[in-house]
Structures are given as structure tokens and as C-alpha cells.
Chains A and B, each alone.
Chain A
């Protein structure tokens, strides 16, 4: 993950001085972040007092009464992780204008919601769904398919938590100049997240997401306006780059264009069916609130992703020649450079780093809540069907603590080879898409078709991705297309063929 390289940034920065001398956050900054973290726990307490009943619906879906302001911000904060703030500018630095693809791939996620969110929201209100497994069980009536999809979701979202926890550890260590170590950072922030999550459930998570979302938007807007003011407009930067990097004016070659489209497909089908996003579709107060949230969300990549791509491109003009590791810190380099000329920019740095921490926390807390609900509702409730609502809620809370402890342990100790598995989460998760996109709109679709398609899709994806490991010379992205997209194509095709086969009349 992009944020991992911050560790190298730290070691580069401290080559001649002690870590403390190079802290990006001074004592005031650390106090600011500390106050922010304490406020998150207080919000958790407020969420606990706002509880209306001790039920799964109240705990995991905030009583299905989320209004426009909170719903929009929690959707926003959940969709954009810390990687958005730091990794995207670095990618834009390396890829140049070709990384503008990130703007449409984030928009396509919202476009995908139009296909399934209206109907899924209606059904969740009518049938009381809490997790994605509830929909799958109700729609297809297949316990095997439900458990299979639940396990795929838990693995995908679990790996998402792992990578984000590791990133947050590096950020804390780097920004405090080593005063708070990598391990201490992970443990402290994991504790804060699990405390407010178990205190107020979705209500606390959504409220904290609202604050984190505002920080994220403010961070993006401030840094974009700052670089526009300091380094001239986009046109001025383009004139510099036209001389120093004329290769950026060359359009992408055919393979890059196919990869561009493949990236849009994998992100559109992968991110749009994140269990935490589906929980928010269930939690919306009504259809109108949900629709308006999406109508605002569709424009958010312009003020988030596009701004950060421009940060990377301005960085390329200002600091040419950085390697991959160096380019990951381009946003911080620009902020440091600006703070030399504009004294007030040092506060931008605090805001930016707080926004990065907030972005990661909002992603992790939502994922944690999603996994907790998947385990409680789709696995534990099957084992103990007679369990009361308060027993289920209590089990979910205990599971959250156990899960967070395991995730924090793995984030610190997981061998590097295992980390390869965390990179494939979207390619695996997107295989669930036919169950949701087709299942909602095609009544005749059978659970067995979905199960067959899902199995074939996952097998093909894993085969392509790990073929090199077993000595086969298959490219990780054959013909410039992700393994997950090949798997998804086979998945859709299998679902189509088996559905047609089942519809054919049987000859006597």
C-alpha cells in the first residue's frame, strides 16, 4: 500500500537528525490530534445515550433513521480512505494526467448504486435486512450461498482493515517523529475505534464519520487552494511540464487504455458492494434521503480525487525526479515547501495529517462494524437461532473487541508474504456483484447459478493471480485486464448460461 512508504520517508528525513527534530506534528499538533481522538470517544458515549432499543437494527443500522447530512458524510468518509489523501497524489505524480482515470472510477461506484440501491433499500425496509447475507438468504433461500458470500465479504473487508491499520501505524510514527511508535499508534487508535464503535454502534460510527468526512473535504480543498496560490494555476504548471516532461502529452497506448477501463470495472463492482456501504443503504431514513446523498456523492470525486491528482501533477512540476517512495510523500513535500514561504501553512499540515488519520479511522471503523454484523447475523445467529436481540448485540460487541485485537496483532506481526493476499480484496469481492446486481432485477435467477458463477469467478481470478507462483507463465493482467475482471466476466457468463439452461423445457 502507498502509505507504507511513509516509513521510508521517515528514515530519509532522520538521516542527519533525531526523529523528534523531524516530527511533522509538533507538541501542539499532537495535542490537537489527542483532543480529536478524545472527542471521538465522547461521541461514542453520546451514541450510547441516543440508543432507542437494545436490538441489532438499532446497533448496526442506527435504527434505520439516518438523515441526509450524516448519511452523505458517512458514505463519503467510508468511500475515501487514507490512501486517497496520500496514495492518489503519489500515483498522479508517477502516471501524470493518465491518473485522471481515478476521477471517473470513483464516480462509477456511485453510478453503480443506481442499479441496485433503490430496490435493496426498499426491500431492507420491508424485510428488515441488517447485512448483505440477509438479502442473499431472503432472495435465494440458499444457506450455502449465504455463508459463502458472508465469508468472501469478511475476508475482503478484514484485509481492508489490516492494510489500513498498518498505514495508520506508519503515519503516527512518522508524523510524531517516533515519539509514538508504530506499534503504540496501532494499539492506541485501534482502542479508540473499538471503544466508540461498541459504545454506540452505527450511530457513533456515523457521527464520527461525519466529523472525519468534514476534515477530509477541508483537507483536500485547503491543499488544492494552497498549491494553486503558491505555484500558479493548472495552466502555469502545464507550461512547465510541457518543457520538462513532454512525454506526459502522449496519449495512453492501447494496453494502458484497456487497463484504464479494467480499473474502472474492478472498482465499480468491487467498492460499490462493500458490506459497509450496503449497511448505509439499509440505514437511510427513507429513499429520498438516500437518493439525495448519492446525487451529492457523484460530484465528490471532483473536489477530492481530482484535487489530489492535481496535487500530484503540481508536485511533479515542482519536485521532478522523485522515485516511487519519494513520490508517495509528494503532498507532504509540497506542504513543507509551502510552509517555508507561507507561515500559516504549518496549520495546513496539522489539518492534512489529521484528515489522513481521520480518513483511515472512518474506513476501519465502518469495516469493523460491517464484519461484526456479518458474523453476528449471518454466522452466530445460525448457530444459536434462539438468541435474544440483546444477546446478539452483546456477542457482536465482544466479537468487535476480539476482531480488533487480532487485526492489530496481525498488522504488527503478519509476514510480508501474507500481505500479498490483502492486495486481491477487490478482485475477489467484485465476484459477489452478480448476486446483487442481477439477483435484485431478475426474478427467475436461481441461487445455484449465482453459486456456480461465484465459484468459477473466484477460481479464475486466483488462478490468474497466482499462476506465476506455480510456475505458469500467465501475466497477472492478461491483455492489460485485471484478473478480477476476467473472473467477473466468466462469473456473469456462467450465471447467464446456467439460467438459460434452467429455463429450457425438459423433454419427456
Chain B
């Protein structure tokens, strides 16, 4: 994977963590959160896991001094 792809995936997760697609009022909750807040929280946790994996796997890619 290239550096640009890693950045793109991270940016994508950050952008979709905003509940853009929730526009209507939905009653009820999931584990104590409104549906849109639960969705946002799930993406946030996914972002943390993905970023931790990126640190493990692509650290050397970003440390590379020869890439332009």
C-alpha cells in the first residue's frame, strides 16, 4: 500500500465518522445511545483499531527517506 492510500483510508474514516446520512429523528436507542451517535462511536472505534494497525504495518513506509 502507498502512503497516499493509507492517508486516504484514514481521512475517509474520519469523514464518515460524521453522521452525514442521519437526517430523520429516530426514537429508541442502541446500548444507550441514539442511533446516529452509536454509528459515529462505532466508526470512531474502527478508526482507532485501523490506525493502530497502520502504525504497526506502515511505520517503516512513512519513515522511508527515499520517497518523494
* A interface residues with partner B (beta carbon < 8 Å): 97-98, 100-101, 103-104, 107-108, 110-111, 114-119, 121-123, 233-239, 242, 246, 248-252, 257, 260-261, 264, 268, 287, 291, 294-295, 298-299, 301-302, 306, 441-444
CB neighbors of A among B14-38 (8 A): 14-15, 17-20, 22-27, 29, 31-34, 36-37
- Whether A257 and B20, one on each chain, are in contact in the complex, defined by CB atoms closer than 8 angstroms, is yes
Contacts of B40 in A (CB 8 A): 100-101, 104
A306 to B42, CA, bound (A): 12
Determine the residue in chain B with the shortest Cβ distance to A437. B7
- 16 pairs of residues in contact across A and B, judged by CB atoms under 8 Å: A100-B40, A100-B41, A104-B17, A104-B40, A104-B47, A107-B51, A111-B10, A246-B27, A249-B25, A251-B34, A252-B19, A261-B15, A261-B18, A264-B14, A264-B17, A298-B51
**12 additional contacts, CB 8 Å, given A115-B3, A234-B32, A251-B36?**
A97-B34, A101-B40, A116-B62, A119-B62, A119-B64, A238-B29, A238-B32, A246-B27, A250-B25, A257-B19, A261-B15, A298-B52
- Whether A114 and B6, one on each chain, are in contact in the complex, defined by CB atoms closer than 8 angstroms, is yes
Contacts of A239 in B (CB 8 A): 29
- Whether B22 and A251, one on each chain, are in contact in the complex, defined by CB atoms closer than 8 angstroms, is yes
Q: Tally B residues with Cβ within 8 Å of A.
A: 44
Determine the residue in chain A with the shortest Cβ distance to B62. A118
- Whether B51 and A122, one on each chain, are in contact in the complex, defined by CB atoms closer than 8 angstroms, is no
- Whether B14 and A111, one on each chain, are in contact in the complex, defined by CB atoms closer than 8 angstroms, is yes
- What is the distance, in angstroms, from A278's C-beta to the closest C-beta of chain B? 16
Interface majority SS (helix, strand, loop, mixed), chain B: helix
- What is the distance, in angstroms, from B37's C-beta to the closest C-beta of chain A? 4
- Whether A119 and B65, one on each chain, are in contact in the complex, defined by CB atoms closer than 8 angstroms, is yes
* B interface residues with partner A (beta carbon < 8 Å): 3, 6-7, 10, 14-15, 17-20, 22-27, 29, 31-34, 36-37, 40-41, 43-45, 47-48, 51-52, 54-56, 58-60, 62-65, 67-68
Contacts of A261 in B (CB 8 A): 14-15, 18
Determine the residue in chain A with the shortest Cβ distance to B60. A118
- What is the distance, in angstroms, from A317's C-beta to the closest C-beta of chain B? 11
Q: Which 4 A-B pairs have the closest CB atoms?
A: A234-B32, A118-B63, A97-B37, A251-B22
Determine the residue in chain B with the shortest Cβ distance to A103. B44
- What is the distance, in angstroms, from A264's C-beta to the closest C-beta of chain B? 6
Contacts of B43 in A (CB 8 A): 104
- What is the distance, in angstroms, from B15's C-beta to the closest C-beta of chain A? 7
- What is the distance, in angstroms, from A231's C-beta to the closest C-beta of chain B? 12
Contacts of B56 in A (CB 8 A): 291, 295
- Whether B34 and A122, one on each chain, are in contact in the complex, defined by CB atoms closer than 8 angstroms, is no
A103 to B27, CA, bound (A): 24
Contacts of B10 in A (CB 8 A): 111, 114
- What is the distance, in angstroms, from A233's C-beta to the closest C-beta of chain B? 7
- Whether A104 and B34, one on each chain, are in contact in the complex, defined by CB atoms closer than 8 angstroms, is no
State which of B20, B52, B60 has its C-beta within 8 Å of the C-beta of A299: B52
Contacts of B24 in A (CB 8 A): 251
Contacts of B67 in A (CB 8 A): 441
- What is the distance, in angstroms, from B1's C-beta to the closest C-beta of chain A? 13
Contacts of B33 in A (CB 8 A): 97, 234, 238
Q: Beyond A110-B51, A234-B31, A299-B52, is A291–B3 a contact (Cβ under 8 Å)?
A: no
Determine the residue in chain B with the shortest Cβ distance to A263. B18
A291 to B7, CA, bound (A): 17
- Whether B32 and A237, one on each chain, are in contact in the complex, defined by CB atoms closer than 8 angstroms, is yes
- What is the distance, in angstroms, from A371's C-beta to the closest C-beta of chain B? 28
Determine the residue in chain A with the shortest Cβ distance to B37. A97
- What is the distance, in angstroms, from B64's C-beta to the closest C-beta of chain A? 8
- Whether A107 and B59, one on each chain, are in contact in the complex, defined by CB atoms closer than 8 angstroms, is no
A145 to B59, CA, bound (A): 29
A249 to B25, CA, bound (A): 7
A114 to B36, CA, bound (A): 28
- Whether A235 and B32, one on each chain, are in contact in the complex, defined by CB atoms closer than 8 angstroms, is yes
A251 to B47, CA, bound (A): 21
A52 to B32, CA, bound (A): 54
Contacts of A301 in B (CB 8 A): 48
Contacts of B25 in A (CB 8 A): 249-251
- Whether A107 and B48, one on each chain, are in contact in the complex, defined by CB atoms closer than 8 angstroms, is yes
- What is the distance, in angstroms, from A312's C-beta to the closest C-beta of chain B? 13
- What is the distance, in angstroms, from A340's C-beta to the closest C-beta of chain B? 25
Contacts of A291 in B (CB 8 A): 55-56, 59
